[in-house]
Amino acid sequence: MPNAKLTLISHPLCPFVQRAAIVLLEKDVPFDRVDIDLAAKPDWFLAISPTGKVPLLKVSQADGPDAILFESMVICEYLDETQDGVSLYPVDALSRAQQRAWIEFATATLADAWQFLNAKDHPTAHAKQAAFRDRLQRLEAVLAAGPYFSGAAFGMVDAVFAPLFRYFDLLDPAVSQPIFENLPRVSAWRASLAARQSVVAAVAENYAERFRQHLRQHQALLAG
């Protein structure tokens, strides 16, 4: 399967797509990327996506029709299991299970962060900022010495958290710095992820402007 042609069906801003893109880049796997407009989903996409969401991974098969995978972590784990290169999970079953649990935690953390970023009123913004900060404090307590989640090796938990932290690199420091204040391990981890080539390359060069445009269109407080 390492030689199968892979196509990632994507949206330029989707953090879940970025997870899959980071894994593909970490594995040094050639792939095509097709962006769609989620506000006007094409018929061909709706015909192959059971959920109507991205990412999708289309896997070409020499002996049959293309296979379609959906859900970001299903895609990421398939790639980790089938493509060459170092696994992004530890060999030990208990450590692997623990990391999968923190991936679930990341999805909930992303929800708090996203609601903060898109808040249109101050009560919602304050509540979601506090919830996000609480989750960061929990991460601070479990992080290894770094530079990555479990230490020296980049892994799947890193691939999942990197798109989340990217948002805060785009905000006014007056907004983002207090959120990460007195969290030295989380802050160092965030910086290491931002510098990782796979993380940088997982989005287009115009990502920052696209994200700011999204905030303006949704009349978020942070758009100002």
Provide the phi-psi class of 8: left if phi over 0, else alpha when psi is between -120 and 50, else beta: beta
Indicate where the chain has its CATH 1.20.1050.10 domain(s).
93-223
CA 166 to chain centre: 9
Assigned CATH topology for domain 6-82: Glutaredoxin (3.40.30)
Q: Check residue 1 and give its pLDDT.
A: 44
Q: What is the rounded distance in angstroms from the CA atom of residue 198 to the CA atom of residue 171?
A: 21
Q: Where in the chain is the domain with CATH 3.40.30.10?
A: 6-82
Q: Of all residues in the chain, what percent carry a pLDDT higher than 90?
A: 94
Give me the active site residues, please: 14
Burial 33-62 (b: 16+ CB within 10 A, else e): beebeeeeeeeebeeebeeebbbbbbbeee
Q: How confident is the model at residue 146 (pLDDT cuts 50, 70, 90)?
A: confident
Q: What are phi and psi of 215, to 5 degrees?
A: -60, -40
Specify the pLDDT at position 217. 96
Reported CATH class of domain 93-223: mainly alpha
pLDDT digits 0-9 by tens, 48-58 = 999 999 999 99
Is the pLDDT score of 2 beyond 90?
no
pLDDT in tens, 165-207: 999 999 999 999 999 999 999 999 999 999 999 999 999 999 9
Distance CA 135, CA 180 (A): 11
What pTM was computed for the model? 0.96
CB–CB of 90/158 below 8 Å?
no
Residue 214 confidence (pLDDT): 97
Mean pLDDT of 1-22: 90
pLDDT digits (tens, 9 = 90+) for 38-95: 999 999 999 999 999 999 999 998 888 999 999 999 999 999 999 999 999 999 999 9
